[in-house]
Structure 1
Amino acid sequence: MELHKHRTPEDFRDHIALCFTKFLRFFADTFFSGRYAHRAIVLETVAAVPGMVGGALQHLKSLRTMQPDKGWIKILLDEAENERMHLMTFIEIAQPNWFERFLVILAQGIFYNLFFVLYLLSPKTAHRVVGYFEEEAVVSYTEYLAGIENGTYENVPAPRIAIDYWKLAPDARLKDVVIVVRNDEAGHRDVNHDFANQLS
């Protein structure tokens, strides 16, 4: 799997999706500068929303139209569960304080409603947004990994929840967790860009 690749926007909706993603990236870089585990907590609670919203709306569409979903529902719900496990893992690592937990609630409440409306209006744009989100996630986790490797961040033992979920070695460390999470994000990137292409 190619980790670092970028899909060049092709139309107005693609440009909107990319600009929205860059705006959120600016916010994350400003607020969580150098605090990647804490940043991951807030971003992963947002990242777990699109798959659930998309899966539910595709499910309802399949019921309404009485047509098969081409496997999209399971893929999207699996993506939502995978992103939730990222969140559960980084909660164990970062131990967020009350303010960061409040940010999780706030970010999820705002983003869920925005994304729900976006998916109703333009599923293609919604999937493109997620594709660009995941491109940025790959970049962020690559930076996090570099910080672990150069000693900026302590390479702590991997939490049990991560070892069990990804079937890591019993002595796995944070570096191993970041690598598998980054691979997940690259996979979600490709899936969502592909879905957006199919909806073009």
Structure 2
Amino acid sequence: MELTTTRFGATLPGWVTEELRGVDRMLPDTEDRMRLAHRLAGRNHLEGTGGPFAAVVSAAGSGEVLAVGVNLVLASGLSGMHAEVVALCLAQAGAGTWDLGGAGRPPVELAVNWRPCAMCYGAVLWSGVARLVIAGEGDEVEHLTGFDEGPMRPDWKEQLAARGVEVHTDVLREEALATFREYGERPDVVVYNGGGRSRSRVLEVQ
């Protein structure tokens, strides 16, 4: 048997580099790191590269930005390329290790503009990050955008805490909701739920 496809991957779009130009590499304030996530999430859906989601990986103590990620599902054609996964993979590639919390390594934080979906919850759990900062939690993102976030267990925060991951929530929550609302109100919105449940409002209108 000869396989026709033996590799896959995703690359941050050029506009991300442009957006980061002039941004300080050191962002010691938690809200500043979340503002960066909001900024990237807001532009991502306007650029058509994916949904309104972004993540920032940083050193938990100094706030040094180690990697950023945006949702690249539409740009890559890969359902796994959510913002958290992209950011964590880039941070791991830069560090040369799959375990961002390995021995001798400083604690790492992941800032995301909403609670992780079911898939990204697992990615966070196994990444080695010590701190998860989110803009908010709840079903607002599903109501405002139509995305299926999956079956999250009600004790997800406790499960992360039991594995050494601190969770901080409600950091610039209203800014996140404004981005989701903007996405959901677009006439050309694409909601990429799997299993034939994806939809495009453009097609529906036609």
Which category describes the TM-score, using the shorter chain as reference length? 0.3 to 0.5
**Structure with greater strand percent:** 2
Q: What TM-score, normalized by structure 2, do the two folds share?
A: 0.31
**Structure with greater helix percent:** 1
